[in-house]
Structure 1
Amino acid sequence: MPKINFNHLSNLEISAIFSEDKKYRYRLTIVNKSCIKGDTLCIIMQNPSIANIEIADKSVQFLEKLVFEKKVRPFKKIQKMVIVNQFALVQTKDFSGTKKAIGVQNDIIIQESIEKADYVLIAWGKTNPYDERQEAIHNFLEDMDCKNIFATKKHPSRGTYQDFIISYSF
């Protein structure tokens, strides 16, 4: 069965930071060009899939629609989405969250992205088994005294647009 590729929505400007060997994606930034001024949403997921500046994956496309088309609360005024991950290793099957999968620049880029965001969305899903990495992300959020933190009921690849965003507590 052929792999399905997903397109980014139109009128978006996409940029990404990858390792030189392209094995690690540290950040994917998506700007809504039709929005002149707005807030920044940092989304933290588990690990990157195939999404890059040319194509999206199912999760990224769902998040683009959720934020830029559906404009769900509390993200009605978002101009920029910054997607980072607990682990930066690009992998679609049989992922194993080892220390090597984190990537050498990942924690710095996660912290920078959180620091510059108006909102943070934890979107790694309820079945994420990587407690140690979750704790590290929680520590980043607490250290930066983040107040506008939300979560998703499910992983975005399995999301629905209604009642998908929930409040988040440590």
Structure 2
Amino acid sequence: MNTNMNPRIGRQVKHFEAIDIKNISAVFSEDNVYRYTLEMKYNDRENYRNTMTVILKNPSSANEKKADNTIRRVEKYVYEKFHDVSHLNILNIFAYRATDAKDLNNALMLYGLDYVVGLENDKYIKSFVKESDYIIKAWGGNSGINKKLYNQRINQVNNMLAKITKKQNIPVYRVDGNGKGNDFYPFHACFWGYNMRLIEYRQ
């Protein structure tokens, strides 16, 4: 579907210095409207094989060469908190690329939930979660996105995750934003402080 909406895509920054820049990979749709996955490795973790998957709201400007502020924050936080993690995967509950939530909401209201989720998104979520040793949920509140549809999507993702993480006994976390965030709306990674603690979900 060609929408010609042209959502704003924000500025890029350098990836965190511990990231192996040469081995970052990403899966985009052919038209670059969607980013389904972003995978990377840490430079000095060759002796470890554990994989962390962080699930955010939706992609912005990060790609194989550059990060955005949220992705860089995730890269550093995971590096400092999980010393046994060598691989980091970034997924999103919506694969539609937009820096501003209002642009995502505009597309959602015009074209429906499936459009902003992305045709292949659930396939990648299931596949990557199955190969993960740890999960952090970090999609935050609705931020102006239609709340009913946002909640519907969260329920879809939570049900998908639970079937896999319970069966495989994969630990699932959220970051305690000094009292902000909760199990349904886990504190968004763009606001993480590096000293903030992790809360493990009860499976």
TM-score by length of 2: 0.75
Q: How does 1:11-160 map to 2 (within 5 A)?
A: 11-12=19-20, 13-36=23-46, 37-68=48-79, 71-72=80-81, 75-93=82-100, 94=102, 95-96=104-105, 97=108, 98-127=113-142, 129=147, 130-144=150-164, 145=166, 146-152=169-175, 153=177, 154-160=187-193
Q: Distance in 1 between matches of 2:194 and 2:114?
A: 33
Q: Secondary structure at the match of 1:26?
A: strand
* Post-superposition offset of 1:6: 1.3
Unmatched segments (≥5 aa) in structure 1: none
CA contact (8 A) 2:12 2:62 kept: no
* Post-superposition offset of 1:139: 1.0
Equivalent position amino acid for 1:165 in 2? L
Moved over 6 A (4+): none
Which structure carries more helix by proportion? 2
Identity over aligned pairs, percent: 29
Q: Secondary structure at the match of 2:159?
A: helix
* 1:67-117 superposed Cα distances (whole Å, 9 cap, x missing partner): 22xx21xx2211011111000010112122532011110000000010000
Q: Distance in 2 between matches of 1:26 and 1:126?
A: 20
Q: Distance in 2 between matches of 1:30 and 1:169?
A: 28
Match in the other structure for 2:198:
165
Question: How many residues end up aligned between the 2 structures?
Answer: 164
* Post-superposition offset of 1:164: 4.1
Q: Distance in 2 between matches of 1:169 and 1:116?
A: 20
* Post-superposition offset of 1:25: 0.2
Q: Aligned-residue CA RMSD in angstroms?
A: 1.8
* Post-superposition offset of 1:163: 2.1
* Post-superposition offset of 1:126: 4.1
Unmatched segments (≥5 aa) in structure 2: 1-9, 178-186
Q: Distance in 1 between matches of 2:68 and 2:123?
A: 24
Equivalent position amino acid for 2:38 in 1? L
